[in-house]
Structure 1
Amino acid sequence: MNMSRRPVNAARRLVEGGSIPFASALHSKSRSSPYLSVLLILVGLLVIAYIYSGSGGSANDREALSKAEGGVSCTLEVQKALPLLKKAYGDSMHKVLHIGPDTCSVVSKLLKEEDTEAWGVEPYDLDDADANCKSLVRKGIVRVADIKFSLPYRSKSFNLVIVSDALDYLSPRYLNKTLPELARVSADGLVIFAGYPGQHRAKLAELSKFGRPAKLRSSSWWIRYFVQTSLEENETAAKKFEQASIKRSYKPDCQVFHLNAYH
C-alpha cells in the first residue's frame, strides 16, 4: 500500500487562487468574448492537470510548482545540504542510504561524488518515475518499501542513513518501529530532516499512506522522542554541520537532527 504523491484538486486550487497564467487578461476580455474566455480557461486547466498527473510532468516540474505554491520539500533540502554533510561526516559519507520521496534525485547526486556508494528507499509510488530513476530501481539501488515495516537490509549496512519527508507522516505508534530500524541499518549515524510546525509542505509529499497530512512537530517534541527511543545526539557531527552552515551562510528550511547509531 503506497502513498500517492499526486495532489488533490490541484487545478481547482490554482483557479481559486487566481494563479492561472494570464487570468487577469481573461477576466478583462470576458464581456466581449465569453466563449473564448471559457475555452482558454479549459485549456489552462488541462495543461495544469497534465503536469500534475505525472504522465508528462517531470520531477523538476513538480518541484517548481511546489516552490511556487510556497511548499517546502525536505528532500530538496537534503540535496542543498550534501556539501555540509560531507564536512560533518567525512568518511561516513562513503556508503549512504537515503529514505524519502524523490530519493532517486538524492541518490543520483550522491553517486556523482568520488568514492561514494549510495542507495535509496522510496516510500511513495513510482508510477511517474523518469528513465534514470527506473534504471536505479532495475539495478536494485533504489527500492520501493513501506517504512512502517522492517527495512530490507542487514544491520549496519550503511555508514550513514539520511531520511527526509517520511517520518513526519508517521504516528508515534509507527515511529516506535521505524526509527529503531533506521538506526539498526546505520553503522555511524542517522540524519533526520523534518518540517517545522505550521510549515506548508510541498505538494509532492502532501498525503501519507493513511491519507492524512504531515504531523509537523517541534524540535523539543523530537528531542524528547529521541530520548525515549534511546537515540543520542551525535554532538560531534552536529557541531561540524553547524560550523559549516555558518561558514556558508546556510539556513535550512527544515529541522536537521544528527543522531548516533545504536551500538
Structure 2
Amino acid sequence: MLKTILVPIGHAGGADERLDLAIELANKYDAHVTALHILLPMGEMVKSVPIEAYSGEAFDRFTREQEEEAAEYRAKYEKKLQSAGVRYDWYQQQSDLLTQLNLHARSADLTILSQKGDDIDDILGVMHDFIIGNGLPVIVIPTKGANADYKNVLVAWDNGKQCATAVHNALPILKEADKVTVLTISEDDKDHIPEADICVKLARHGVNAEALTEDDSMAIADRILETANKLDVDLIVSGAWGHRRLREIIFGGVTKKLLSNQKHSVYLSH
C-alpha cells in the first residue's frame, strides 16, 4: 500500500510541482506526506568562497541567511499542506542531501523527484546516486509537473530483476489504472519470459493488462518513449540501471533517457 510519500524540498527547483503531486497522491491513497528540507552544509560555503574571504562574519551571515530562507520555505509549504488537509511531517536538516534522502526514503513507500537534463553532470547527480544506491520506489516527474491520474500506464518489461521489483512495487497504482500495456522489446540475443506471462500475474491482482511486443529496430529507450507517446500514457513503469552504471553513462542507458524525457512521469525501482 502507498501510505508514506517523501518529497525533498530544496534548492534545485521543482519543489512546488513535487509537493502538488504528493498532495494529490496522499488524497488518493489516504497517505502521509514527509516533506524533507535540506539546508546546505557549511562545507558547501567553504567550497564556493575564496579562502581570503573566510571570516567569522561570513560564516555567521551564511548561517543567518540559511535560517531565514528555511523559515520562508517552511511557512510556504506548510501552508500548502495544511490547506490541502493532508497529514504530514516536516523535517529540516543541515546535512548532505544524498545521506538524508537515503535515510528518510527507507521509511517511505515512495519518493517524488524531478527529471533532469541528459548531460553527464546531471547523470552523475544526487538523484541518480539516490535511485541506484537506495533501490526503493521513486516517481520522477517532468519539471513542468504532473498529476496522479494514472489511468493509462506503460510497463517496460525486460524480465530483469529491477523491472520485476518495479512492477511489484507499483501494484497499488497499476490496480487503479483503466489500462496497463506491458511492452517487450524483441531482442534476438535475449531470452524473455513472454510478456503474456506477466500480464497473467497482473490479471490475478485485478490489473487490466495487455501485452505488446515491438522490434528492436531502434534504441530501446527510443522505442519505449515512442510507444508511450503513441499510446498517450500517463506513467511509465521501469526497472532502473539493469547494467553497470558506468556503461549506462558512456553508451546512453535506457534509464538515463527515461529520466530526462520531460514528457512522461516515470516510476522506477532498482
TM-score by length of 1: 0.34
TM-score by length of 2: 0.34
